[in-house]
């Protein structure tokens, strides 16, 4: 007898995915900033498709002042401000700890100017890493602090410069702070990106009317968690229409079913962030659950779900 | 007042783990506080005084997205249980109060680096206020049955907000002062006079405090008066509890280096007057 929910998967399900020249055993990886080698104290992170580092800058940065975290309905707001040891400290101290985790390491690269992204990439050239993810959601201090990723021309120049300075595949994590994601995604593709990650946290604000102050030390912050999932899904779907390179979906994913939603909308792989805080095992649990979910959805290769959305 | 991380070794921080802990008890303890008892044998066996756990109050994709850091109030390694007290003040603690005995809760711990009692110390003063007293009660568990002499102050807004006195007494504290705002006994000047009167003749070498900035300042002053070192446990909004999210920085950027993180470098720090 056969039918939905009755049979066990007859054939093993293929979870592997390619992002350009980057081959992953499965599509699940952490979102930059929501992961560190510390998580290996709790869960077998070597089972992840890849790990993604916190964003690395050229110089050491202290991050923003407290408070850095807040919670809103179905989401969290953060203004951590990406503290970094700087690229030399990162290469000496942080990168070896990521390398010991046993999964491909994707290094997230940031910059407060276009040239800083290139300098960080050059400094990383001698180190061992599987890919670079360019975080274009940093404030561009040469343009009055406006998000670099909201400027399509800047995205194109930054990505082209990074691609020219590295041998590894380059992912570009796009900002949602855009009139339309299509142009930025296309700019990344034309500049040589292997994939685009869609998307980063959404700019947000929390206010305490009693004190007339913003609750975050930095004023504004980034909204993440289940609250942004429908927004991210739409952006993934739009970006996937706009480019031929793979899209990595990110935004509010907390279950294997969420992963399937992003794949159907056009993502080839996913990143998980906020969900890990409340359930540290969520990423490895999803990896374990994906074969059964794929079988239930009637595919033997997970990639067969990618971009199958119809209206 | 300034915070400095304690000198630490890896042994100060037992490896944390996560578990689906069964809720054994979850009911009001006083007018203000709830008592949560969890079956969490690994945490009960490993937790050091001043360490904390992260409790996930969200369930089935609803409720708070961030777990809540809570001090381990008491632990019983033989029974495999951990006690936590909390005040129902917001979305997270309201969700925590909704767990019924028999349900399971995601718990991560033990986390952070707790209080350090030095081998040469023979007298300790602990000063807690409100829910902050929960960080200090495990110290009493660890010091019983001596030879270190423990003096405890537990302070609160009203008698229903004063917690921990019975834990301190049960574990042989030499003195327990339960003070509150309603009768003025918690007033800092009153408390200073009482503590000086009673301990000037035989002062503690260490003072441990949690829960109030005013009391922390008093502890720092008393520390200078007595030549005692002062450790304070501080709280912060947290997301990961392990250090990777960098959400719980203790203050503002003072240079290119990040300020200490409450979860990784604390929650217990050296406290001194500037």
Could you read off the pLDDT of B239-252 as tens digits, one per residue?
Answer: 999 999 999 998 76
Residue range B92-119, pLDDT digits in tens: 999 999 999 999 999 999 999 999 999 9
Chain B contact probe: residue of A280, A285, A286 with most B CBs at under 10 A: A280
Look up the pTM and report it.
0.95
3-state secondary structure of B126: strand
CATH superfamily, domain B2-111, is: Translation factors (2.40.30.10)
pLDDT in the model for residue A139 = 75
Measured between CA atoms, the residue of chain B closest to residue A276 is: B240
Q: Is the pLDDT of residue B231 over 70?
A: yes
- The per-residue pLDDT for B200 is 97
Q: Which CATH class is domain B123-233?
A: alpha beta
The verdict on whether A250 is a catalytic residue reads no
List chain A domain ranges. Answer: 17-66+80-203+229-305
Distance from CA of B162 to the nearest CA of A (A): 28
Q: Which of B106, B104, B109, B102 is nearest to B42 (CA)?
A: B109
Interchain contact, B253 vs A64, CB within 8 Å: yes
- A59 has a chain B CB within 8 A of its CB: yes
CA distance A68 to B249: 8
Q: How does the average pLDDT of chain B come out, rounded?
A: 95
pLDDT band of residue B32 (cuts 50, 70, 90) is: confident
Every domain of chain B and the residues it spans: 2-111, 123-233
* pLDDT for residue A8: 53
What six digits make up the tokens of A5? 């929910």
Q: Coil, helix or strand for B31?
A: coil
Name which CATH class applies to A17-66+80-203+229-305. Answer: alpha beta
Question: Active-site residue among A34, A138, A199, A250?
Answer: A138
* Chain B touched by A226 (CB under 8 Å): yes
Query: What's residue B253's pLDDT?
Result: 66
The per-residue pLDDT for range B126-151, each reduced to its tens digit, is: 999 999 999 999 999 999 987 999 99
The edge-to-edge listing of strands for the beta sheet with B52-55 is B68-71, B52-55, B104-111, B17-28, B33-39, B81-87, B74-76
Contact by Cβ (8 Å): A37, A100: yes
Q: Which two tokens stand for residue B35?
A: 């008592």
The answer to whether the Cβ–Cβ distance between A61 and B248 falls below 8 Å is no
Digitized pLDDT (tens) for each residue of chain A, 311 residues in all: 344 444 554 578 999 999 999 999 999 999 999 999 999 999 999 999 999 999 999 999 999 999 999 999 999 999 999 999 999 999 999 999 999 999 999 999 999 999 999 999 999 999 999 999 999 987 777 777 788 899 999 999 999 999 999 999 999 999 998 888 999 999 999 999 999 999 999 999 999 999 999 999 999 999 999 999 999 999 999 999 999 999 999 999 999 999 999 999 999 999 999 999 999 999 999 999 999 999 999 999 999 999 999 99
ipTM at complex level = 0.94
Helices (H) and strands (E) in chain B, counts: 7, 14
User: Can you tell me the distance from the alpha carbon of B165 to that of B177, in angstroms, rounded to the nearest whole number?
Assistant: 8
Calpha distance B104→A13 (Å, rounded): 32
Q: According to the model, what pLDDT value does residue A2 have?
A: 41
Summarised one tens digit per residue, pLDDT across range B39-54 is: 999 999 999 999 999 9
Q: Which of A37, A38, A86, A281 to mutate to test the interface with B (most CBs of B within 10 A)?
A: A38
pLDDT tens profile B177-219: 999 999 999 999 999 999 999 999 999 999 999 999 999 999 9
- Residue in B210, B262, B266, B257 with CA at minimum distance from that of residue B239: B262
Work out the minimum CA distance from B64 to partner chain A, whole angstroms: 7
The pLDDT value recorded for residue A191 is 98
A167 CB within 8 Å of a chain B CB: no
DSSP chain A: ---TTTSPPSS--B--EEETTEEESSSEEEPTTS--GGGGGTS-GGGSS-EEPPPB-SS-B--PPSP-EEEETTEEEE-----B-HHHHIIIIIHHHHHTTSS-EEEEE--SSHHHHHHHHHHHTTS--SEEEEETTSEEGGGTTEEGGG-HHHHHHHHHHHHHT-SS-EEEE--S-SS-HHHHHHHHHHTT-SEEEE--PEEEE-EETTTTEESBTTBEEEEESGGGHHHHHHHHHHHHHH-SS-EEEESS--SHHHHHHHHHHTEEEEEE-THHHH-TTHHHHHHHHHHHHHHHTT-SBGGGGTT----
């Amino acid at each position: 007898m056969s039918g939905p929910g009755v049979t066990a998967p007859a054939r093993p399900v293929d979870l592997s995915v390619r992002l350009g020249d980057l081959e992953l055993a499965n599509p699940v990886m952490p979102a930059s900033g929501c992961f560190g080698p510390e998580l290996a104290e709790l869960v077998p992170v070597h089972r992840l498709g890849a790990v993604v580092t916190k964003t690395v800058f050229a110089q050491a940065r202290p991050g923003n002042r407290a408070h850095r975290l807040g919670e809103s309905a179905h989401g969290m707001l953060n203004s951590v401000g990406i503290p970094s040891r700087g690229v030399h400290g990162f290469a000496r101290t942080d990168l070896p700890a990521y390398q010991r985790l046993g999964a491909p390491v994707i290094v997230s690269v940031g910059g407060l100017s276009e040239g800083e992204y290139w300098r960080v990439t050059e400094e990383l050239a001698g180190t061992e890493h599987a890919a670079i993810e360019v975080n274009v959601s940093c404030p561009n201090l040469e343009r009055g602090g406006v998000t670099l990723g909201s400027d399509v021309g800047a995205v194109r120049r930054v990505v082209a410069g990074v691609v020219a300075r590295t041998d590894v595949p380059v992912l570009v994590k796009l900002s949602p702070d855009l009139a339309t994601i299509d142009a930025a995604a296309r700019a990344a593709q034309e500049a040589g990106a292997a994939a685009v990650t869609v998307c980063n946290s959404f700019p947000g604000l929390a206010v305490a009317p009693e004190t007339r102050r913003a609750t975050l030390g930095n004023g504004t912050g980034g909204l993440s968690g289940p609250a942004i999932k429908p927004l991210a899904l739409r952006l993934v779907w739009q970006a996937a229409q706009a480019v031929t390179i793979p899209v990595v979906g990110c935004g509010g994913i907390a279950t294997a079913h969420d992963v399937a939603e992003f794949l159907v909308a056009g993502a080839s792989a996913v990143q998980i962030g906020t969900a890990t805080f409340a359930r540290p095992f969520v990423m490895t649990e999803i990896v374990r659950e994906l074969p059964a979910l794929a079988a239930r959805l009637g595919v033997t290769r997970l990639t067969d779900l990618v971009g199958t959305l119809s209206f | 007042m300034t915070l400095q991380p304690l000198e630490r070794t890896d042994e100060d921080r037992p490896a944390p783990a996560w578990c689906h802990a069964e809720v054994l008890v979850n009911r009001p303890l006083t007018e203000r506080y709830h008592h949560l008892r969890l079956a969490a044998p690994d945490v009960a066996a490993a937790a050091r005084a001043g360490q904390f756990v992260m409790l996930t109050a969200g369930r089935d994709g609803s409720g708070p997205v961030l777990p809540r850091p809570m001090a381990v109030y008491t632990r019983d390694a033989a029974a495999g249980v951990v006690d936590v007290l909390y005040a129902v003040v917001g979305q997270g603690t309201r969700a925590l109060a909704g767990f019924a005995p028999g349900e399971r809760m995601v718990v991560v711990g033990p986390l952070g680096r707790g209080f350090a009692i030095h081998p040469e110390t023979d007298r300790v003063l602990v000063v807690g206020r409100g829910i902050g007293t929960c960080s200090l009660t495990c110290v009493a568990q660890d010091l019983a049955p001596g030879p270190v002499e423990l003096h405890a102050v537990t302070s609160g807004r009203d008698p229903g907000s004063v917690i921990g006195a019975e834990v301190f007494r049960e574990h042989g504290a030499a003195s327990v002062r339960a003070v509150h705002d309603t009768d003025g006994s918690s007033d800092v000047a009153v408390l200073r006079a009482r503590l000086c009167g009673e301990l000037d003749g035989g002062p503690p070498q260490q003072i441990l405090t949690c829960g109030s900035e005013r009391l922390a300042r008093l502890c720092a002053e008393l520390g200078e008066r007595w030549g005692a070192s002062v450790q304070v446990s501080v709280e912060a909004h947290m997301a990961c509890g392990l250090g990777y999210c960098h959400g719980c920085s203790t203050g503002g950027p003072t240079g290119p280096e990040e300020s200490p993180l409450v979860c990784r470098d604390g929650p217990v720090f050296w406290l001194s007057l500037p």
